[in-house]
């Protein structure tokens, strides 16, 4: 039993972890892309430093080669002038410069190899980041659509009114209003037929008291009485 409970607990933890990772996948992806972009920026700075160092070695190499050429001319002139001592001193300087030249050439070779590698790395990383960014936009759009669909489904919860239910409620309300209006009109007719005014009108028709409302005969008699007498 204990083993079963432990297995269930581990399964619940794993499921909760997967659910959390699914809910925060876009947030994690955004941070991972920021980290990747920062790494590419560092690679670009390294590339720029390598290019600058290579250019510096190139200028040093040009200066060294120019000095070697100048000293060779001067050493040759010293030999021709019988100054072996000066020629030997110049030869030693030339040997030192040649060693410096060879070191600069080796450094430039190394820089060239590293620059080529870094350029490939940066280009590849930028292309992958661009692809990730396109995928991230698609993922965001898909997530937005999924959320909208989920919201539409969740709108039909048991404690929430749906559109058909609202329409049915409105129909019942209108039916009750029509029934109430019909009842009010019936009450008015009943009051008119059996109320005090109806009783008074009935007595007036029998000659007991004046009429409650005029008839066509009453109107005609009144109009004839207003006519001037004939000459």
Q: What does the pLDDT look like over 110-138, one tens digit per residue? A: 999 999 999 999 998 888 888 888 888 88
Q: Please give the backbone phi and psi of residue 160, each rounded to the nearest 5 degrees, phi first.
A: -115, 145
Q: Supply the DSSP symbol for 83.
A: -
pLDDT of residue 59: 92
The torsion of the CA quartet 108, 109, 113, 115, rounded to 10 degrees, works out to 10
Rounded Cα distance between 37 and 33, Å, is 6
Count the neighbouring beta carbons within 10 Å of the beta carbon of residue 111: 20
Residue range 40-67: mean pLDDT, rounded: 91
Read off the pTM.
Answer: 0.52
pLDDT of residue 117: 92
CA distance to 46, 110, 156, 221, per residue, from 53 (Å)? 10, 11, 68, 128
Mean pLDDT score of the chain, rounded to an integer?
Answer: 76
Residue for token digits 């009010």?
A: 184
**Beta carbons of 200 and 209 less than 8 angstroms apart:** yes
**Beta carbons of 36 and 125 less than 8 angstroms apart:** yes
pLDDT of residue 65: 93
pLDDT of residue 172: 77
Contact residues for 139 (Cβ-Cβ < 8 A; gap 6+) = 25, 26, 29
Contact residues for 156 (Cβ-Cβ < 8 A; gap 6+) = 162
Residue for token digits 């269930």?
A: 8
Chain length of the chain: 231
């Amino acid at each position: 039993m204990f083993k079963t409970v432990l297995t269930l607990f581990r399964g619940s933890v794993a499921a909760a972890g997967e659910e959390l990772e699914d809910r925060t996948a876009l947030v994690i992806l955004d941070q991972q892309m920021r980290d990747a972009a920062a790494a590419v920026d560092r690679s670009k700075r390294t590339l720029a430093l390598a290019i600058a160092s290579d250019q510096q070695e190139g200028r040093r190499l040009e200066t060294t080669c120019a000095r070697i050429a100048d000293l060779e001319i001067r050493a040759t002139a010293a030999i021709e002038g019988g100054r072996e001592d000066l020629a030997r001193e110049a030869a030693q300087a030339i040997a030192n410069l040649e060693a410096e030249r060879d070191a600069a050439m080796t450094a430039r070779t190394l820089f060239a190899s590293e620059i080529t590698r870094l350029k490939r790395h940066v280009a590849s990383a930028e292309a992958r980041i661009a692809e990730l960014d396109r995928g991230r936009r698609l993922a965001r759009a898909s997530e937005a659509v999924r959320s909208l669909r989920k919201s539409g489904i969740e709108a039909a919860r048991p404690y929430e009114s749906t559109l058909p239910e609202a329409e049915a409620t409105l129909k019942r309300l209108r039916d009750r209003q029509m029934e109430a209006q019909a009842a009010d009109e019936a009450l008015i007719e009943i009051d008119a037929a059996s109320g005090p005014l109806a009783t008074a009108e009935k007595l007036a028709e029998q000659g007991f008291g004046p009429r409650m409302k005029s008839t066509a005969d009453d109107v005609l008699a009144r109009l004839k009485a207003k006519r001037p007498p004939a000459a």
